[in-house]
Structures are given as structure tokens and as C-alpha cells.
Amino acid sequence: MNNSPTSPRGARNQSIHDLVILALFTAIIFLMNNTPLGYIDLPIIKATLIHVPVIIGSILLGPKKGAILGGMFGLTSILKNTMTPSALSFVFSPLIPVYGTDHGSPWAVLICFVPRILVGVTPWLAAQGLKKLTHDKAALRPVALGIAGAVGAFTNTALVMGLIYVIFKDAYAMLQGVDTTAVLGLILGVVAGNGIPEAIVAIVLTPAVCLPLIRVLKRSAAGGAAIPSAE
């Protein structure tokens, strides 16, 4: 019986498997959104761990489904910042008034979704590049996956904070009680203070979760097709 991924039956089975995994990771994202594990409340901005299932899903399923998971990440961010706002929630929810004003900004949707969607793309690109660079050597897979995880984490932190600087610099300065010339330094401080711990978590968890799943699901280390069975 031909179960090759290129056969109609193999392609159909692969599609079903991918949709099941996509649904599972989506459920994990929404579950984390409703627990302290998803968003960690800090005085100014919420630190996040929801990027981890997006990164893992990107590597296992590829950039298209990874982008869908990133979109789910963005949706949870809008919901969380609207329902339980912090001081900086106006940059993630158009329903929260921008600091110093009485209205929200539609630019919050851009900040909420674009970086998070890209979190579902850049880890796959990094994993693919490293796979070719290392010739997919088994001994180097944990390192490659860890680097891919770090790329995804920094994609989120750097793009979010960079867009905040570009779009909401004045409001951020008022919120912090500083001159606008000091905002860049504060932004870089958040990138280091939040981004580095978030990247470390991704570096540890990405290979720890991906490697067993790659073996169980019989996938390559970067969203490859399932290995056909011997039936």
C-alpha cells in the first residue's frame, strides 16, 4: 500500500496529521493565555511564554501553519491586554486609550499581530538554514533547534519594542515620565530585560520538545514531510 507523502493517500494523511497538530498547538496557546504561564504581569509590560508553542509549531509544521499559530498568539495578546490591561496595554489593544489621550489606536493591531505572525515564520527559516548548514547531523540538531528558538523569541521582542518606539514613542515617554530622547535606551532595556530570558526559555524548550516530536511524528527538523511507512 502506497503511503508515500507524494501519493494522494499519503498527502491526505499528512494534511490530517498537520491539522490535528495545528489544533493541538492552538489549544495550548489559548490555554496558556488563561494561565499565569502565558503572560507574566510586569510593572510596565507583560512578559510572554506563548511564543514557545508558536516557535515549535513553526518548526514542525512549516511557515504557513506557523503564521496561523502566530496569528492566534496575536489574538490572545489583544484579548489579554483588553481584559486585564497593564500600563502599556494601549500598544496591544485598540480598545485601550493611548496614554495621555481618551482613545485607542488602530496601530495597536499592527503591533499585536505582525511580530507574532512572523514568530511563526522566522524559526522555520532559521531551522531550514541551519539544517542545510549542518547537513542535518543528529548531534547538531539540539543546537540548531535552540538557535531557531532564540530567533523566534527575539523576533517577537525586537519587533514589538521596535514598533512601539516608532509608533508610540511620545506616549511611551509620557508613561515613563522621561524625555523622548531617553525612550530608545528604555526600549533597549526592555529588549534585554525581557528578550534575553524569553530567548533562554525558547533555547531550552524548543529542542527539548521538538526532538521527541520529530521522532514520534517521523518528521525532519524543519517542517518536513512525514517519512512514509513500510506498509
Q: What is the DSSP string of the chain?
A: ----TTSHHHHHHHHHHHHHHHHHHHHHHHHHHTSTTTEE--SSS-EE-THHHHHHHHHHH-HHHHHHHHHHHHHHHHHHHHHS--TTGGGT-TTSPPTTSSS--THHHHHHHHHHHHHTTHHHHHHHHHHHHTTT-GGGHHHHHHHHHHHHHHHHHHHHHHHHHHHHHHHHHHHHTS-GGGHHHHHHHHIIIIIHHHHHHHHHHHHHHHHHHHHHHT--TTSPPPPPP--
Single out the residue of 8, 39, 192, 183 nearest to residue 116, CA to CA: 39
Distances (CA, A) of 173 to 14, 42, 183: 50, 18, 6
Tell me the average pLDDT across 113-127. 96
- Cβ atoms within 10 A of the Cβ of 163, count? 18
Q: What is the CATH number of the domain that holds 169?
A: 1.10.1760.20
Distances (CA, A) of 136 to 14, 127, 133: 22, 10, 8
Residue 53 lies in a domain: yes
Domain containing 35: what range? 8-217
Q: How many domains does the chain have?
A: 1
Residue 154 lies in a domain: yes
Do 94 and 102 meet the contact criterion of CB atoms below 8 Å apart? no
Q: What is the pLDDT of residues 138-148, one digit of tens each?
A: 889 999 999 99
Measured CA to CA, the distance from residue 134 to residue 137 in angstroms comes to: 6
Q: What is the pLDDT of residues 52-99, one digit of tens each?
A: 999 999 999 999 999 999 999 999 999 989 998 888 899 999 999 999
Residue 2 lies in a domain: no
Residue 223 lies in a domain: no
The confidence score (pLDDT) of residue 209 equals 92
Measured CA to CA, the distance from residue 187 to residue 121 in angstroms comes to: 24
Residue 229 lies in a domain: no
Single out the residue of 164, 155, 67 nearest to residue 117, CA to CA: 67
pLDDT band at 196 (very low <50, low <70, confident <90, very high): confident
Residue 101 lies in a domain: yes
Measured CA to CA, the distance from residue 39 to residue 192 in angstroms comes to: 17
Q: What is the phi-psi region of residue 218: left when phi exceeds 0, alpha when psi lies from -120 to 50, beta otherwise?
A: left
Residue 27 lies in a domain: yes
Residue 3 lies in a domain: no
% of the chain with per-residue pLDDT over 70: 84
For residue 48, pLDDT beyond 90 = no
Q: At what angle do helices 107-119 and 122-133 cross, to 10 degrees?
A: 30
pTM of the model: 0.85
